Structure 1
Amino acid sequence: MDNFKEYVRYKNYFLYIIIFYIVVNVASALFASEQDRLFWNKRYDTETYILGKEPVEFLKEYINILPRGKALDIAMGEGRNAVFFAKNGFEVDGCDVSEIAVKKTLELAKENNVRVNAFVADLEIYKPPKDTYDVVACFYYLQRSIIPQIKEALKPGGMVIYETYTIENWERGFEGPKNKDYLLKTNELLDLFKDLTIIYYRELVLDDKKAVASLIARK
C-alpha cells in the first residue's frame, strides 16, 4: 500500500511539472505574439504604405504561371501582393498579425476596385484550411513551423510562391532582419519544399540591396 501511495505521489508530481511546463510555454508564446502585434501595428501606423503599393518583382514576373483560382497571402503586410493577386483574377484571402495592416489592405483593395478577404491571424496559432488554395504566397516572412501547413493548404496541383531573406543579407550588412532565426541558410528554402515539384528556384542579391531565396513549387 505504501508503495502504491508513493507511486501516486510521484505520478501527480510529474503531472504537475508537465502542466506547469505547458502553461509557461503557452504564456510565452502569447506574450511573443502580442509583442509582434504591437511592433507591426506601430510600424504600419503611417499615412503612407511603408513598402509601397506595388507587388514584389518576383510575383509580377511569375504571376502568369500560377494556377488561377483561390490564393492565400500569408503575413501579407499592407496588402500590396494580395491586391495584385485580386487584380489578376484571383479570389484572395490574406492574413497578418497586425489589424492596422489588415485595415490598410482593405483600403488598398477598395482603391483598386477589387476584393480581398483580409483578416487578422497569429501565425503561431492560425492553421489554413487543408486542400483549399490554388496558390499560397509568402514574401519576406520566415516561420519554419508553418511550412507543413502551407503544403497542406494547397489543393493537389496548387503552387506555392515564396521569397525571403537569406543569411547572406545579414553577412553583407543589408537592411533586413538581424536575428539569424529569420534568415534562410543556403538552399534551405529548397530543402523545406523538397517534397513538392520544384518549378523555379534561385538565390541571389537583388540590386545590391538584399540577398534572397525565391521559389515556386507545385504540390
Structure 2
Amino acid sequence: MIRKIQYLFAISSKERFHRYLLKKGVKIGKNVNFKNRKTLDFDLSKPSLIEIGDNVFFNKYFTLLTHDAVSRLYRVKYKDYMPYSIGKVKIGNNVSFARRVTVLKGVTIGDNVFIGHGSLVSKDIPSNCIAVGRPAKPVCSLDEYYERSRRKYMEEMKEYYYHIKNKENRTPTVEDFKKEYSLFINGDKIDEFLESLDKRSNRKLKQEMEGNYDYYKRNHVAMFNGFDDMVASF
C-alpha cells in the first residue's frame, strides 16, 4: 500500500516522477517526457536494467517490461520454480513512441527512431529509422520519411487553406495556422508571435514544445518568410 501511494504521488508531476525513476535505479537522460503518466506501465522489478537516453517521448498506454512470466507454467508442469527471465532495455537518444507501444525485455532501440502506433518491440531496432508492426520492424530510414513528410505536410497545409476559403467562405488567417507556426515563424520571432496570441494559446503552444523552446528560439529557420509568404506558395 505504501509503495502504491508513493508511486501515485510520484506520477503527479513530471519532476517528481523523474526523481522517482532515478531513485529506483533507472538510468534516464535529459528532456524525457511522458504524455500520460497514469497510463504508463513501467516494469520496475529490475529498474537498473532500464536505460533511457535524452529527448525521449513516451505516448499514452506505453508498456516496458524487463522480465517475462513464462516460468509460472514450469511450476505446475515441471515442478520447477525457475525465476523469471530478465533482460535489459536500452532506449537511445531522440526516440519517440506513438500510442499503445509495448517494449519487451532484452531490446535495444537506437538513436533517432520513431516507433509507430500499437507496435510490439521484441527485437533490436537500429538507429535512424521508422519502425512499426507486431513485431516492430524498420520500414524506412528517418531521412526518407523526413523528406516525404515535408512534401506531404505542405500538400496538407494547402488543402487546409482552401478548405477554409471555399467551405467557410472567408480568407484564412494566422490564427487558423497557429499550430503550424514553425513553417513561417523563425526562432528570433517566436516571442513576438506567441505574444500576439491569447493567453491560453500562448501557454498551450509553449507546453507542446516540451522543453524545446530555447532551442527553437536560438536555431529554428522557417521554410517561409512569414505567413503571407507561405500563403503565396499555395
TM-score scaled by length of structure 1: 0.21
Flag the structure with larger Rg. 2
TM-score scaled by length of structure 2: 0.20
Structure richer in strand, relative to its length = 1
